[in-house]
Chains A and B, each alone.
Chain A
Amino acid sequence: MSQNVELDKVVMRFGEFTAVKGISLEIKGGEFFSFLGPSGCGKTTILKLISGFLDPTEGEVRIGGTSMRGIGANKRPTAMIFQNLALFPLMSVADNIAFGLEVRGVGKAERRKRADELLDLIALPGQGDKMPTELSGGQRQRVAIARALAVEPQVLLLDEPLSALDLKLRQHMRAELRDIQKRTGVTFIYITHDQGEALTMSDRVAVMSQGTLQQVATPQELYDEPATAFAAGFVGENNRFAGTISAIDGGFAVVDTPAGALKARNHLGLAAGASAIVCVRPERLRLSGTGSENGFIARLKSRSFEGSFLNLMAEGPSGELMVQVTNDGALPAFDPAGALPLGFHATDAVIVPAEAGHA
């Protein structure tokens, strides 16, 4: 009961402004797929292009292999969860859920039956006669999902639906959304600027910036093998060392940086002479004596104790650095103004190309 969604060289222009700059990708049927990016990156425009509130300036959106050009939002096999939920305030919860069936001409008794089934699915049995305003934030959230599922969509589109909830509820709803997706098997397309949401729920994530696709990958690939400097910086924290590739060594490369020649994985196969950035996650930086692999000296600036780990902020040869040290019961004493010898294994770092015009 789910179909794939294809974007084929999709371009969307609003007057002078180009919101989406030629994006092609395929979202598989039954997949939980997220678009992740900062506000203004074009991810909401993509959602509107799929749902039918916008038609692309160029290119094509296909659902289940059928072109959607000229097909309005009300004729597409998609259903959307709006950021503000957009529950109809003057209709009861059951009427809200059954609205899609009502406009399809389904009889009253049948509508009520479906609404009750869906209320069971979202764990709100017997609440159909309440008004949306009588529900809590999390309950309203679930009603919006039930309303979208009632029309048995092939694809469910979610526009940052958790952003209005408080932290605890948000984490709970992540698990619930994931669970509903697994049970129904519907393709979920999720829009968010919150990397935590994208990483925990998704099968695959598309990272977007300024209308372009930076990387499409599983959460773990995204974290461990970022394809661009933007993806490396936007998903999780990363320490960067910019420089020029001086040597290639199998799957590794050496980059000449202010911190010295650093060796890291060359998973993208960059050539010697290219401007590149070595990215090392804070938890992969190690406190080490001098002379170890990829070693350099930084200066400790501050530290913050987080319980299970310790964050060190340091000034390195090529800018600020963050080091995360696991609290294994044997934390060394730090000299507050002293030298901090750091290093990392070549397998723990990756090399991405430097982007023009970006720091």
Chain B
Amino acid sequence: MRHGNPLLAWLTRGYIGLFFLYLFLPLIIMSAATFNDSRLPTVTPWNGTTLRWFGELFADGSMWNALFTSITIGLGVIVICVPTGTAAALLLASLNKKARTFAYALMVSPLLTPGVIIGISTLIFWNRYFHLTGGILMTMLAQSSYIIAYVMLMVGARLQRFDGTLEEAALDLGASHWQVFRRVLMPFLRPSLIAAAFIAFLQSFENYNTTLFVRGLDTPLTVFIASRVRTGVTPAVNALGLILILITVALAMAYEVNRRRKLAATAAAPAG
């Protein structure tokens, strides 16, 4: 700490260290178990280093199916959520204060609802009135009902900094409403749309609680992993986990590099 109490500084450092150890040790152990030549995923005892679990993973047809299912759902969720969430953010911004407060509460309510409830209510409603059975489509709908709210919040945050006179200027120069939307508003929102699409996919990809109720006979990756853990797990699941972690870390790095580059670019721009 800045106030120079050495004991406090030492405690702080220890606490921070423990916090991050707590955060990362399980992931490290899980990753390490991938390379252990043992039927069960563990690091003790170490039976020798092997890469064979990657082979087993890639040879596992049901894993590929599950991955394909998850990606299909994730892409569908992007298609539903990004336009709808953007529309919701724009609509919200155009309402008067009283209506906005009410609409906002309604729109964020799915974020304060447990995932299982969202799954259950979607299942009952779409099954009863539209005779839809659980599956990829219903999973997309159920996940979208709360992921749209995330998109709405992300796009809405950027929208707050939008200068409305730019739209007026474009209209005044003869642009049609569609041209204004495409050439002025969309380029401004683009960074938040990309980020929102990314978050929407990630949220969909890692969802379990909602998906469980609406998946029907389809098996997305999270359900696949959970069922493997419960019924005879092998380090092939660890191999899958490790790959997902590496992708995540790579994305985080890319994000950070991009952020720093932008920061440097802003610092280099002339003032005024």
Closest-CB distance, A306 to chain B (whole angstroms): 32
Complex alpha-carbon distance, A52 and B269, angstroms: 36
Interface bracket on A: 20 to 34
Chain B residues near A133: list those with CB within 8 A.
269-270
8 Å CB contact of A80 from B169, B179, B184: B169
Within 8 A of A (CB), among B93-149: none
Say yes or no for B251: interface residue by CB 8 A criterion: no
- Give chain A residues whose Cβ lies under 8 Å from the Cβ of B165: 82-84, 86
Question: For the complex, what is the distance from the CA of A82 to the CA of B170, rounded to whole Å?
Answer: 11
Q: How far is the CB of A174 from chain B (nearest CB, A)?
A: 21
Known contacts A90-B187, A136-B272; is-contact A147 B173 (Cβ 8 Å) = yes
Q: Which residues of A (101-149) have their CB < 8 Å from a CB of B?
A: 102-104, 133-134, 136-137, 147-148
Bound complex: CA A75 to CA B177 (Å): 11
Q: Does B39 contact A (CB under 8 A)?
A: no
List residues of B (199-228) whose CB comes within 8 Å of A's CBs. none
Interface presence of A353 (CB below 8 A): no
Does B49 reach chain A (CB closer than 8 Å)? no
What secondary structure prevails in chain A residues at the interface with B?
mixed
A134 in complex: contacting residue of B174, B187, B270, CB < 8 Å: B270
In the bound assembly, the distance between CA atoms of A151 and B175 in angstroms comes to 11
Contacts of B173 in A (CB 8 A): 74, 79, 99-100, 103, 147-148, 150-151
Q: Does B160 contact A (CB under 8 A)?
A: no
Residues of B near A79 (CB, < 8 A) are 172-173
C-alpha spacing A86/B188, complex, angstroms: 13
Separation of A89 and B173 alpha carbons in the complex (Å): 16
Asked if B174 contacts A74 (CB within 8 A), the reply is: yes
Cβ contacts under 8 Å, A87 to chain B: 169
Shortest Cβ distance from B166 into A: residue: A86
A286 to B177, CA, bound (A): 61
Q: Is B252 interfacial (CB 8 A cutoff)?
A: no
Across-interface contacts of B179 in A (CB, < 8 A) = 103
Closest to A75 in B: B174
B172 CB, nearest partner CB in chain A, Å: 5
How long is the Cα–Cα vector from A137 to B270 in the complex, in angstroms?
Answer: 12
B174 touches which of A82, A84, A90, A151 (Cβ 8 Å): A151
Q: How far is the CA of A103 from the CA of B182 in the complex (A)?
A: 11
Residues A73 and B171 in contact, CB atoms below 8 Å apart: yes
Q: Does A53 sit within 8 A of B, measured CB to CB?
A: yes
Min Cβ gap A77→B in Å is: 10
Residue in chain A with minimal CB distance to B173: A100
20 pairs, CB–CB < 8 Å, chain A vs chain B: A51-B172, A53-B172, A73-B168, A74-B172, A74-B174, A74-B175, A79-B172, A80-B172, A82-B168, A82-B169, A88-B183, A89-B188, A90-B187, A99-B170, A100-B175, A103-B176, A104-B174, A133-B270, A137-B272, A147-B173
Counting from the closest, the 7 A-B pairs by CB-CB distance are: A100-B173, A86-B169, A103-B175, A86-B165, A73-B171, A80-B172, A74-B171
